[in-house]
Structure 1
Amino acid sequence: MTKEQAVLSGFSFIGRMARTTNEAEMKGEGVISSQWDAFYKEPFVDRIPQQKEEAIIALYTDYESDETGEYTFAIGAKVQDEAEAPEGLSKVTVPEATYVKFTSRKGPMDQVVMEAWQEIWEWSKANPNKRAFIADFEVYDERAQDPQNGQVDIYISVV
């Protein structure tokens, strides 16, 4: 997996949001898998107005504290700043921040995304106090179209 650091401009995002914790997700009581199920069953991303790009974004934001606290998970898209969220979806502004970008290997999407997060968690342990917990996000672009041979970028906000 490759890593690089950069300052990214802020962006507006519209998507379907839910609160969760890593503890709930690990126990199978979280919302992330059901959010993805809903994404595949109901193409709500098609209802998002003024999308800036084709990529689907999985956003982690509104952190209560760190990886042990509650946060908001959302699936959606980057939009023009003036876009308004349709019913059932919400809009957030992700501020400019410094990010470390982790790029997964190519392979089955469910495996490569989990492997990437495992590496991020190991990186976090080796770099205490580096994560900013402002916003983190996964980018599912054209490289993620084939679920059996996909690749994803994960951006982690850092201080």
Structure 2
Amino acid sequence: MEIKKFNVIGISIRTTNENGQSVKDIPALWNQFLTEEIITKIPNKTSNEIYCIYTDYKKDHTAPYTTILGCAVENLESIPEGMIGKTIENSNYEKFIAKGNLTEGAVYNEWVKIWNSDLKRAFTSDFEVYGEKAQYLKNAEVDIFIAIQ
């Protein structure tokens, strides 16, 4: 499926899956996003869906990459201090749906399946979308979009 280019503004961290680093870094980023109410500080939002973007891959999912937690926005003209803006270019994506209890690793478990699949990934920008169905933590659905070649 093709997804057209869009912009996102949010907070970010450079991390890696090596030595379980991302398992510490990404929840810490979520904690900051929620406790500092970052969503209320993002200008020109196109919706209140939360995007978790994985981008700027050094090589593939075994090497460092950047995680951005934020919202889709109309433009990148006004990026608040301490935040980052990123344009996600047109690309073809494979869609996965993580279903289950978010507090028990439903999204991570879906990623393990993706990492172990033979999907021809592009390693440009992958992302998760936390919309209405993600609000019920114990019975959630999160869309995961993987850029493919």
After TM superposition, the score normalised by the length of structure 2 is 0.93
Report the residue type matching 2:53 in the other structure.
L
| 3-state SS, counterpart of residue 115 of structure 1 | helix
Q: Which amino acid aligns with 1:19?
A: R
Specify the alignment match of 1:3 in structure 2: none
Whole-Å separation in 2 of the counterparts to 1:89 and 1:55: 17
One-letter identity of the residue aligned with 2:10: G
Give distance in 2, aligned partners of 1:103 and 1:28. 21
| Equivalent position of 1:114 in the other structure | 108
Determine which of 6, 9, 27 is the counterpart of 1:11. 6
Aligned residue among 71, 74, 82 for 1:88: 82
Change (3 A) 1:61 1:148: same
Q: Structure 1's 41 and 151: CA in aligned 2 closer, same or farther, altered over 3 A?
A: same
Gaps of 5+ in 2: none
Letter in 1 for 2:8: F
Quick one: structure 1 residues 23 and 12, their matched pair in 2 at CA, closer, same or farther if it must change by over 3 Å? same
How many residues end up aligned between the 2 structures? 148
Deviation at 1:114, TM superposition (A): 1.5
1:28 and 1:79 map into 2 onto residues whose CA distance is: 26
Percent identity between matched residues is: 36
Aligned to 1:61: 55
Tell me the CA shift for residue 93 of structure 1. 0.6
Give the deviation of 1:28 after TM superposition.
6.6
Gaps of 5+ in 1: 1-5
